[in-house]
Amino acid sequence: MLKNWRLLTGLSTSQRGYCALYPDTLKMTQIDGFKDKECLPQAQDPMVSKKYYRRAEHRIFVNRSLHLENVKFYGFDMDYTLAEYKSPQYETLGFNLTKERLVHKGYPEEILEFEYDPSFPVRGLWFDTLYGNLLKVDAYGNILVCVHGFEFLKHSQVYELYPNKFLTLDESRVYVLNTLFNLPETYLIACLIDFFTNSPQYTRVKNGVRCGDLAMSFNSIFQDVRSAVDYVHIHGDLKKKTIENLDLYLKKDERLPMFLARIRESGAKVFILTNSDYNFTDKIMNYLFDFPHGAKAGEPHRNWRTYFDWIVVDAKKPLFFGEGTTLRQVDTRTGALKMGHHVGPLHEGLVYSGGSCDVFTELISAKGKDVLYVGDHIFGDILKSKKIGGWRTFLIVPELVQELHVWTDKCQLFAQLQNLDIQLGDMYKDLDSSTKEKPDISKLRASIRDVTHKMDLAYGMLGSLFRSGSRQTFFSSQSTVAHEQRFTVDTPTIDRSRLVNAVGRVPANIAEVTSLESDSALDLNNDLKCRTYDPRPRVGSRTLTTRTVPTTRTSNMPTSKPTA
């Protein structure tokens, strides 16, 4: 009987990711492109020299030890979890449909010329609806990067708008673009802000633009985009076009039936909990399980519903983890909801709609720690389920593949940064408090800025998802449940913390390979290089320029509950 994930996959847990443990399990790594164990690259850490890394997209990172034999219930989201959409094809579809909806609402037809660029948006940004800026912030609200349209603002410009380069997470002003569904929305907001700000027909004002008697605030532009996105997802053609072109927008893995079957064979229960409606869920899942065989090659094909003990659609997360909605049964023939409020036990093979975490947990006779829920939404799936429901959580972060690729592909840059840091330390090691003259580190600072700039561009226009300079980003900090609470903390002078609050240790930027002893020696945040992104002409080329944008730190920053 399969009692834990090691038996389930032939792998052992490690804070460096899952890696082969025993020689007889090395055959499991053939999926990584290695024919035998001699071909496997050894880990660099001498403490684990007998272990081997799997490819980045096949690794699992852990915040702390977890005994999977204690997990009795495995829950899965559907979108971007069981169903992995192809990028950037799927984001491009949502981007184009949202443009069309805005034009239908009266926006100029010129915006139809916008083309989605996946290198620009990154998750976890804040959008300031007052000034129309996209903000990359740290865990405390300190602004690391500020972008207005495609213009990266200078130090002085940021200070004019945000005293101390700090902003409180006020839900009435700030919207957090946290999910993978927000990526096309993020880029469209930047396109529209850039379009109206630079159009000769409009005059720029502090909180919007004007054209004669017509005034448009950045908040109204954002609200129009939000309503257009909601319309496309709920009433528009996004689901229809996705279903019509499943091969174009959806990845398919024949190991999925076997994966779910093995979990159930181990004695655990499996459920799917998704915000999607039943008709869409049924078509997506039918496609994902559309193989001539069942869980094994010799078994007959089975309906996707037979792989789950319980199925819940229209969950309306994160509301599901709070007061919830009425739990009703779904007629699988029509997709319509049956009359009445379901109060009896949940039956295998049936489909339910809505409900709440408390009701669902009680009906399946589970305790919070018995449940491991797998999802991609750091707030709707992870924070809420852990904070309110007490469920154990598993965060899907597709960006990790790119982050790890940069870490390995650009390892020479990290080595260069290490050498520069060693040189910096050598210049200060013989100095004490009586020293009157400071060493000249201007050349070293310039070299570190240059290498850091190259690293940022390797991740994308807005840098790493997890770090900016030596700071952990807001996105990575959210995985700590305490971040939902309102409290006051002092910002550390230099943040040396490893990335253990997101999904495990991911050396995502210079803070992972440098050891800075004081602000007087070097403050990378005060020398953060940023870029000016110019997509015009939007169907043609774009240009890049660089300039230095200093940042500062503030203390006693109260953190607020993040928005979905």
Distance CA 176, CA 198 (A): 25
CB 329 within 8 A of CB 278: no
- Residues 473, 466: Cα–Cα separation, whole Å: 5
User: For residue 341, which amino acid is it?
Assistant: H
Are 142 and 470 in contact by the 8 Å Cβ rule? The answer is no
CA distances from 92 to 100, 184, 458 (A): 12, 7, 22
Do 372 and 71 touch, CB atoms closer than 8 A? yes
CA distances from residue 212 to 164, 193, 209 in whole angstroms, order as listed: 35, 18, 10
DSSP-derived 3-state class of residue 61: coil
Who's near 259: CB < 8 A, 6+ residues apart?
none
Helix (H) or strand (E) holding 176: strand 174-177
Compute the CA torsion angle 419, 423, 425, 429 (nearest 10 deg). Answer: 140
Residue type, 220: S
Q: Using alpha carbons, select from 563, 465, 454, 536 the residue that is nearest to residue 191.
A: 536
Sequential DSSP letters for 76-87: E-TBTTTB-B-T
Kindly write down the DSSP assignment for every residue of 459-507, as one continuous string.
H-TT--SSEETTEEBHHHHTTSGGGGS--EEPPPSS----S-SSSS---
Q: Give the pairing type, strands 557-558 and 488-489.
A: antiparallel
* Gap between the Cα atoms of 306 and 467, Å rounded: 42
CB 55 within 8 A of CB 87: no
Q: Which residues have a catalytic role annotated?
A: 77, 79
Strand partners, 147: 134, 152
Region of 316 please: left (phi>0), alpha (psi -120 to 50) or beta.
Answer: left
State the Cα–Cα distance between residues 443 and 449, nearest whole angstrom: 10
The SS3 call for residue 351 is: strand
